[in-house]
Every structure is written in structure tokens, then in C-alpha cells.
Amino acid sequence: MQVDGHHYRSIWLAEDGRNVEIIDQTRLPHEFRVVTLSSLAEAKYAISEMQVRGAPLIGATAAYGLCLGLRQEQSPEQLESICGQLIGCRPTAVNLQWAVERMRRLLEGHPPGEWLTLAYQEAAAICSEDCVANEAIGVHGLGLIQEAWQRKNQQGRVEILTHCNAGWLATVDWGTALAPIYKAHQAGIPVHVWVDETRPRNQGAHLTAWELQAAGIDHHLVVDNGGGHLMQQQMVDLCIVGTDRTAANGDVCNKIGTYLKALAAAANDIPFYVALPGSTIDWSINDGIREIPIEQRHQDEVLLVQGKNRAGQLEQVAIAPAGTPAWNPAFDVTPARLVTGLITERGVSPASKAGLLELYPEQSRD
Ligand code: MRU
């Protein structure tokens, strides 16, 4: 996507062909800072501290993190240790595990002397495939926005609510939930996006609003508690969100607060779509509510809010009495019954095992 006239992906290989560059998402929207990752430790820090975040981008960063770790030493012990360290960085987004296991499987079929070259090639392939998949999600999701536009007799604009940031910053490019919106905008369909601020880390306010503004797409930021009211007032035509892990039964795990939006959408007969690349499906899990691990993050994310002060500097301020304990689960699970459809790179499917297997028949065990 474009930033000040330059095309950026959210992660890329530095000119030296070995280091990796990312956009530090903890500084956005106030500062656009590119950070160079030159070691496994820096890649792990970037993932854990959320300089990079969003399920597909975490996977891509882990793939390059593995390359950086292998630069130190190429041995089975080192590979094992790197994989364990990367997978431990964030537990919910399955793309992290998916990317690391994909790299490991490839490397284990070759002698260690070949690993470095192969690893960089595979990390680049993971990034390119993510861009292609997300653009395809955009095309399939565009069909749903076109239908909504027809239902409104092409009057006004299509009103879409989204939660968190599932835009190009959360992936390598295009995004998942935002890809259909970018495609609709390019196709000349008037769209307007309700952007949930997404406490506690405010990915909606910091990142989605920034992306949409850069793309010239109409939007308003709303407090997380506003969605129910907007839907009740018929101010939302459809919801589109991303997911960090989708169970084989169609349950979707996404940023905390997604479940409440799905409940409000169901109560108001508003379609609720979830956009995802196949790499986000965890075929080993059949009950998302019981089985998907929910990341528990530091209480300071709830107790402190970051923003730009009047002097133009980034600052964190406390919003609760000193000593207040806080509880900070980063994700929740929306049961499949509340999901109207899953928008994947292969098409739109019902949120069910049968629906997903129609699109991904190679996962069928029979
Ligand atoms: O904690 P984050 O910012 O990594 O959470 C991101 C989300 O919940 C996104 O909605 C999800 O990764 C889908 S993004 C393509």
C-alpha cells in the first residue's frame, strides 16, 4: 500500500539481503519509523512487543526471524531452539506456528549447509503468497459489498463496521478485513467504515484509521461500546473483521471485543463476515471456544493509554487509580453460529467444517 507516494509492504528484506525491515507499529499513527531486525532476539522482541502484529504479519516475521537465527548457526539443535523461541512469542495467532512449522518441515528435508538460502527463499515465498491470498480475499469480499450496494439500490453508501486492525499493516499487504473495502473503493462503490477504537491497544484508532485516511476512504472512529447502538439504528450494513485463529468448526478467534460485535450484529440481523487466509485455519481444533489458547497480556496495556501529548511527543498516561489490578485477555472467540460467512482466498464459505472443507478439500481426512 502507499505511504506518501511510496509503495510499502509491512515487512521486507533490507538491501543487504540479510537483515529485515519492518514498520514499527507501536509508533503509528504519530511517527512512521522503519526498524531493522538483524537478529533472532530482535525479531522475537518485534513480535512480542507488537512492533509487528496481526496474524499473517506475525507469521511472516517469524519466518524471517528463523532466517536471522540460522545466521548464527545451522544445526538441528539450533533449528529446534529457534522454532521453540519464536512459537512462544505469542500464543493465539496460529500463523506464527504455521509459518515456523512450514519452514522447519522444508529445512529438515535438506542438509544444514543449504538451510540459509532455502530459509530466505521460503520466508520470501510466505510473504508473496500472503499478498496474493489477501488480494483474492479482497476480490471475494468485494462481491459481498456489491450485493449490499445493490440491496440499498445504490443509494447513499455501504456502511461497514470493523474491529481492530485487519488491514495491510496486519498482513504483508492488502489486509484481510480491509482488503474487500480497498477493492470496493477502487471499484467506485461508496463505502464508509465505522472503526472500533479497539481497547486496550487501540489498533483501530492507531492503525485502521491511519490506513483508511491514507487510502482516502471515508470513516469515523467510534468507541468500542458504540457498535451496538450503531447497529440498532441501522447505521451498519455489514461487519467485516479478521481472525487470528479459525477453528475447523468455523469458530473464530479475534481481538477482544469481536464477540460482542457479533452478538449485536445477530440481534439486529446484520451480516457478520470474517476474512482470513487459509493459513489462519487451525484444522486440529474443532471447538474454538474450548481449545483456542487466549493470550493474556500485561495489565499495563489496560491501565495506561498511549498518545501524542501537546508537545508532540508520544506519552503514556495512567487512566486508573495507582494499584488498580487489571485483567487483559487479548482475544475472544466468536462461535460459528454468529458468523454469516468466512471470506477466504478461495471464496466465501459458511462458518462450518463442511463449508471450510468444500474450499479446502485437501484437509479432508477421509
Ligand atoms: O493483537 P494483534 O494486534 O496482533 O491482533 C490482531 C487482530 O486481532 C487482527 O484482527 C487479526 O490478526 C486478523 S488480521 C489480518
Domain CATH for 218: 3.40.50.10470
For residue 133, being part of any structural domain is answered with no
Ligand 1, pocket-test mutation among 134, 165, 181, most atoms within 8 A of CB: 165
Residue 45: Cβ-neighbour burial (10 angstroms; 0-12, 13-18, 19+): middle
Ligand 1, pocket-test mutation among 22, 23, 89, 244, most atoms within 8 A of CB: 244
Q: Residue 93 C-alpha to ligand 1 middle, in angstroms?
A: 8
Of 128, 149, 170, the position where a domain reaches its end is: 128
Ligand 1, pocket-test mutation among 254, 258, 261, 344, most atoms within 8 A of CB: 254
Q: How far apart are CA 105 and CA 87, in angstroms?
A: 15
- What is the CATH number for 16? 1.20.120.420
Check whether residue 235 and residue 322 sit in a common domain. Answer: yes
Of 84, 107, 128, the position where a domain reaches its end is: 128
The three three-digit cell numbers of residue 147, written as one number? 450485493
Give the mean pLDDT of 137-146: 98
Q: How far apart are CA 172 and CA 349, in angstroms?
A: 23
Check whether residue 254 and residue 199 sit in a common domain. Answer: yes
Domain interval for residue 109? 2-128
Residue 80 backbone dihedrals phi, psi, to 5 degrees: -60, -45
In this predicted structure, what is the pLDDT of residue 136? 98
**Ligand 1 atom nearest residue 164's Cα:** 10
Check whether residue 120 and residue 153 sit in a common domain. Answer: no
Cis status, amide bond into 112, omega within 30 of 0: no
Residue 43 backbone dihedrals phi, psi, to 5 degrees: -65, -40
Q: Residue 296 C-alpha to ligand 1 middle, in angstroms?
A: 14
**Ligand 1 atom nearest residue 53's Cα:** 4
According to the 3-state scheme, what is the secondary structure of 194-208?
Answer: EEECCCCCCHHHHHH
- The residues lining ligand 1, judged by C-beta closer than 6 Å to any ligand atom, are 53-56, 93, 164, 166, 170-171, 176, 203, 242-244, 254-255, 330
pLDDT tops 90 at residue 114 = yes
Q: How far apart are CA 352 and CA 335, in angstroms?
A: 10
Check whether residue 113 and residue 240 sit in a common domain. Answer: no
Tally of CB atoms within 10 A around 77: 8
In this predicted structure, what is the pLDDT of residue 1? 82
For residue 87, being part of any structural domain is answered with yes
Q: How far apart are CA 334 and CA 245, in angstroms?
A: 11
pLDDT tops 90 at residue 219 = yes
Crossing angle of helices 94-108 and 76-87, in 10° steps, is 170
Question: Could you please report the per-residue DSSP string of 225-283?
Answer: GGHHHHHHTT--SEEEE--SEEETTS-EEEETTHHHHHHHHHHTT--EEEE--GGGEET
For residue 300, being part of any structural domain is answered with yes
Contact, 248 vs 353, CB < 8 A? yes
For residue 201, being part of any structural domain is answered with yes
Check whether residue 240 and residue 357 sit in a common domain. Answer: yes
In this predicted structure, what is the pLDDT of residue 47? 98
Give the mean pLDDT of 228-250: 98
- Reference 262, options 273, 276, 275, 250; nearest CA is 273
For residue 266, being part of any structural domain is answered with yes
Looking at the structure of the chain, the number of domains it has is 2
In this predicted structure, what is the pLDDT of residue 5? 85
Closest residue by CA, ligand 1 atom 5: 54
Check whether residue 156 and residue 94 sit in a common domain. Answer: no
Active site residue 16: no
Check whether residue 160 and residue 94 sit in a common domain. Answer: no
pLDDT tops 70 at residue 366 = no
Check whether residue 212 and residue 346 sit in a common domain. Answer: yes
Check whether residue 183 and residue 76 sit in a common domain. Answer: no
pLDDT tops 80 at residue 365 = no
Tally of CB atoms within 10 A around 76: 10
**Ligand 1 atom nearest residue 295's Cα:** 1
318: left (phi over 0), alpha (psi -120 to 50) or beta: beta
Give the mean pLDDT of 134-162: 98
In this predicted structure, what is the pLDDT of residue 18? 96
Q: Residue 167 C-alpha to ligand 1 middle, in angstroms?
A: 9
**Catalytic residue among 130, 173, 196, 244, which?**
244
Integer CA distances (angstroms), 146 to 32, 60, 301, in order: 34, 31, 38
Q: Residue 170 C-alpha to ligand 1 middle, in angstroms?
A: 6
Q: Residue 240 C-alpha to ligand 1 middle, in angstroms?
A: 13
Which tens digits make up the pLDDT trace of 283-327?
A: 999 999 999 999 999 999 999 999 999 999 999 999 999 999 999
For residue 175, being part of any structural domain is answered with yes
The lowest-confidence range among 6-10, 146-150, 331-335 is 6-10
Check whether residue 123 and residue 152 sit in a common domain. Answer: no
pLDDT tops 80 at residue 167 = yes
The three three-digit cell numbers of residue 222, written as one number? 467510534
For residue 344, being part of any structural domain is answered with yes
Which tens digits make up the pLDDT trace of 1-57?
A: 888 888 999 999 999 999 999 999 999 999 999 999 999 999 999 999 999 999 999
Check whether residue 45 and residue 191 sit in a common domain. Answer: no
Of 83, 101, 128, the position where a domain reaches its end is: 128
Query: Any alpha helices (H) in the chain, and if so which ranges?
Result: 40-48, 55-72, 76-87, 94-108, 115-151, 178-186, 203, 209-215, 227-232, 258-267, 288-291, 300-303, 353-359
**Ligand 1 atom nearest residue 177's Cα:** 15
The three three-digit cell numbers of residue 339, written as one number? 458468523
Residue 289: Cβ-neighbour burial (10 angstroms; 0-12, 13-18, 19+): middle
Q: How far apart are CA 230 and CA 244, in angstroms?
A: 25
pLDDT tops 90 at residue 281 = yes
Give the mean pLDDT of 332-354: 98
For residue 222, being part of any structural domain is answered with yes
Check whether residue 63 and residue 203 sit in a common domain. Answer: no
Which tens digits make up the pLDDT trace of 51-95?
A: 999 999 999 999 999 999 999 999 999 999 999 999 999 999 999
- What percentage of the chain has pLDDT greater than the value 90? 98
Tally of CB atoms within 10 A around 170: 31
Residue 38 backbone dihedrals phi, psi, to 5 degrees: -125, 5
Greatest alpha-carbon span in the chain: 63
Q: What is the mean pLDDT of the chain?
A: 97
Question: 3-state DSSP call for residue 192?
Answer: strand
Please enumerate in sequence order all residues whose Cβ is within 8 A of that of 162, keeping only pairs 6 or more positions apart, or say none. 177, 178, 181, 193, 194, 195, 196, 204, 208, 239, 240, 241
In this predicted structure, what is the pLDDT of residue 33? 97
- What percentage of the chain has pLDDT greater than the value 70? 100
Q: Residue 165 C-alpha to ligand 1 middle, in angstroms?
A: 6
Closest residue by CA, ligand 1 atom 10: 242
The three three-digit cell numbers of residue 193, written as one number? 467504515
